[in-house]
């Protein structure tokens, strides 16, 4: 991953973005919205698109961020065309931000990841599941048809996984503020501290 302005210095080793993110999740767990982040994608006409999604957990290997999505959404169409994303995750209580550039993958019932998709469905609340049976999201009000409600996930229910490639972590509450950039290189994470 090429990083503009990357210094010709040894990367620091005393920083781990994955641990920092887990710690942020712990420190902000009392906030109802601490699992919401903003997912930026590219629209088909080349504009950036941006919306709030709910973080549903990490993949089993702990490396990818999981989100539930609907195959009928614009987000799905965009990601099927272009998997490049940037997550912006701001934690209010601890005043820190993770910007995660990554690659998105979409998994349906036929995917190798189908068991993880099934687990995600089972872990979701009834209210969260109900939305997947509603009429086509984004169509004019009332257009389209509801999907018959079933116990198992409808075909349009997808597991979206974001594989991080570069992370920019800003900690506003530190004195002085701290900022770290991390990126993956030959399978290993590197990082260095930056000016905030």
Residues lying near its own copies in the complex (CB under 8 A) are found at 4-7, 9, 32-33, 36, 38-42, 46-52, 74, 84-88, 90, 92, 97, 99, 101, 131, 134-144, 179, 192-196
d(CA 58, CA 172) in angstroms, rounded, equals: 25
Q: Which two tokens stand for residue 63?
A: 């490396």
**Residue 66 to residue 178: CA distance in whole angstroms:** 27
Is the peptide bond between 130 and the residue preceding it cis, with omega within 30 degrees of 0?
no
CB nearer to its own copies: pick between 34 and 117: 34
Q: How far is the CB of 142 from its own copies (least distance, A)?
A: 7
Beta-carbon contacts of 29 under 8 Å, excluding residues fewer than 6 positions away, are: none
From the CB of 104, what's the least distance to its own copies, in Å? 11
CA distance 185 to 22: 22
Decide if 160 contacts 106 (C-beta within 8 A). Answer: yes
> In this complex, which beta carbon is closest to its own copies, that of residue 76 or of residue 179?
179
Instruction: Considering the complex, state which of residue 137 and residue 154 has its C-beta at the smaller distance from its own copies.
Output: 137
Write down the least CB distance from residue 126 to its own copies, Å.
15
Closer residue to its own copies in complex, CB, 87/120: 87
C-alpha R_g of the chain: 18
CB of 158 to its own copies, least distance (A): 18
């Amino acid at each position: 991953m090429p990083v503009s302005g990357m210094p010709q210095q040894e990367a620091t080793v005393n920083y781990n973005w994955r641990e920092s993110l887990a710690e942020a999740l712990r420190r902000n767990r009392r906030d109802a919205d601490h699992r919401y982040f903003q997912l930026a994608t590219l629209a088909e006409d080349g504009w950036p698109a941006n919306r709030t999604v709910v973080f549903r957990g990490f993949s089993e290997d702990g490396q990818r961020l999981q989100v539930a999505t609907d195959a009928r959404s614009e987000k799905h169409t965009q990601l099927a065309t272009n998997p490049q994303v940037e997550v912006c995750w701001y934690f209010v209580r601890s005043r820190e931000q993770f910007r995660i550039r990554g690659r998105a993958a979409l998994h349906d019932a036929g995917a190798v990841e189908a068991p993880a998709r099934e687990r995600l469905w089972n872990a979701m609340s009834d209210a969260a599941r109900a939305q997947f049976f509603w009429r086509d999201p984004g169509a004019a009000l009332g257009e389209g048809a509801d999907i018959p409600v079933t116990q198992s996930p409808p075909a349009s229910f997808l597991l979206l996984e974001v594989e991080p490639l570069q992370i920019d972590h800003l900690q506003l509450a530190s004195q002085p503020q701290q900022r770290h950039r991390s990126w993956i290189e030959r399978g290993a994470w590197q990082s260095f501290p930056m000016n905030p």
